[in-house]
Amino acid sequence: MKRHSPGDRVGYFFSMGAYATERLVAAESLIPIPEDIGADQAAAFLAKGLTAWMGIRALHQVQPGEVILVQGASGGVGSILSRWAKDLGATVIGVAGSKEKLPQVQAGADHALLATDPDFLATVREVTAGGVDVVYDLVGQATAELSAQAVRDGGKIVTIGAASGPPRHYASLQGKRGIRLVGGPTGRRPRRRIPPPRLAEGGRKQRTSRSEPRGQA
């Protein structure tokens, strides 16, 4: 089935190469850009947005009614993932590393928590007694132990990056508690067939805080 026509506005992520006047890209790698999304927004969104898409569509398909916890919810990927999962019907607990980042987390999550809050786990248990269904860990070692304590037995931990280093607490969880560990690169299309992404999916626009000349970006 033909997905694109001459003159369509499209972008790409699952194809190597950029900073070129013209590119030859396979049609299956092209992503339609809605008319109400500017070129600057699309360019800023594609990498972080498609990383979030990998998390909620390929690494784990978010379902209505699930309770998920997002470590690093104030960042670009985390804030998009939180809003997207919430639109899909999940209850989102977003985690910030500092008080200054809490407003960003509160804007996209149902519940916003500080990673350093001594009552962190108690608050998670107030939302869901047995623990969250899925943890999206965008931080790594610094929050790994907290993530392991927050997820329910038989739940899932999705690792996307490791800003503080690879987590060392996850290896023993599979046998002891039946927790599934998944993760993967975002630079290539997943092998499993999943619906193609649409920039309009999710129902909310991300705000671009500022733009920089190419040489300063």
CA 75 and chain centroid, separation: 10
pTM value is: 0.79
> What DSSP letter does each residue of 139-166 carry, written as one string?
S-HHHHHHHHHHEEEEEEEEE---TT--
**Kind and range of the H or E element at 91?**
strand 91-96
* Sign of torsion over alpha carbons 31, 34, 36, 39: positive
pLDDT in tens, 133-161: 999 999 988 888 888 999 999 999 999 87
Query: What domains does the chain contain, in order, with CATH numbers?
Result: 49-183 (3.40.50.720)
Flag whether pLDDT at 2 surpasses 60. yes
Roughly what angle, to the nearest 10 degrees, separates helices 76-87 and 39-53? 70
Could you report the per-residue pLDDT of 61-109, keeping only the tens digit for each?
999 999 999 999 999 899 999 999 999 999 999 999 999 999 999 999 9
N-to-C CA span, the chain: 38
CA distances from 140 to 50, 57, 59, 151 (A): 20, 21, 17, 15
